[in-house]
Amino acid sequence: MDGKIALEEHWSVDETLQIAGQPVRTGARWEELCRLLVEFRAQRLDGMDANGIELAILGLNSPALQAILNPAEAADVARRANDILAAEIALTPNRFAGFAGLPMQDPEAAALELTRCVTELGFKGAMVNCFTQKDVPDSAVYYDLPEFRPFWATVAELDVPFYLHPRLTIPSRTTTYEGHRWLYSQAWDFGSETAIQALRLIGSGLFDEFPRLQVVLGHLGERIPFDMWRIDNLMEKTPVSYPAKKRVSEYMRQNFHLTTSGQFHDAPFQCALAEMGAARLMFSVDYPYEEMAPAAAWFDNTKLSDADRLRIGRTNAIELFKLDLA
pLDDT digits (tens, 9 = 90+) for 82-139: 999 999 999 999 999 999 999 999 999 999 999 999 999 999 999 999 999 999 999 9
- Residue 280 CA to residue 200 CA, distance in Å, equals 20
H or E element in which residue 98 lies: strand 96-98
Task: List pLDDT tens digits, range 228-284.
Answer: 999 999 999 887 889 999 999 999 999 999 999 999 999 999 999 999 999 999 999
- Bridge partners (DSSP) of residue 56 are 6, 96
Quote the pLDDT of residue 223.
97
3-class state of residue 2 by DSSP: coil
Residue 213 and residue 155 in contact, taking contact as beta carbons nearer than 8 Å: yes
pLDDT the model gives residue 36: 95
Domain-wise residue ranges, the chain: 4-320
* pLDDT cut 90: percent of the chain above it: 90
Q: What is the pLDDT of residue 15?
A: 87
- Buried-exposed string 144-167: b where 16+ CB fall within 10 A, e elsewhere: beeebeebbebbbebebbbbbbbb
| CA distances to 6, 34, 147, 207 from 55, in Å | 6, 22, 35, 30
The number of C-alpha atoms within 13 Å of 107 and in the hemisphere containing its C-beta is 16
With pLDDT > 70 as the criterion, what percentage of the chain qualifies?
98
Work out the average pLDDT over 301-310. Answer: 98
Instruction: Tell me what pLDDT residue 20 has.
Output: 64
- The C-alpha angle 17, 117, 186, rounded to 5 degrees, equals 35
Q: Is 242 left (phi over 0), alpha (psi -120 to 50) or beta?
A: beta
Stated length of the chain: 326
Alpha-helix runs per DSSP H in the chain: 14-18, 27-37, 42-50, 71-91, 107-119, 149-158, 189-203, 206-209, 219-222, 224-237, 248-255, 266-276, 292-301, 306-310, 316-320
**Rounded-to-integer distance, Cα 117 and Cα 126, Å:** 9
Q: How far apart are the C-alpha atoms of 258 and 250, rounded to whole Å?
A: 14
Q: What is the pLDDT of residues 209-221, one digit of tens each?
A: 999 999 999 999 9
- Residue 286 annotated as catalytic: yes
pTM of the model: 0.96
Q: How many CB atoms lie within 10 A of CB 200?
A: 16
Is the bond preceding residue 63 a cis peptide, omega within 30 degrees?
yes
Q: What is the mean pLDDT of the chain?
A: 95
Dihedral sign, CA of 16, 131, 190, 214?
negative
Q: Does domain 4-320 have CATH number 1.10.10.60?
A: no
Q: What mean pLDDT comes out for the span 183-200?
A: 94
In tens, the pLDDT along 11-51 reads: 999 888 887 666 666 788 888 999 999 999 889 999 999 99
Active-site position among 286, 300, 308, 324: 286
pLDDT of 149-175, one tens digit each? 999 999 999 999 999 999 999 998 999
Phi, psi of 13 (to 5 degrees): -115, 170
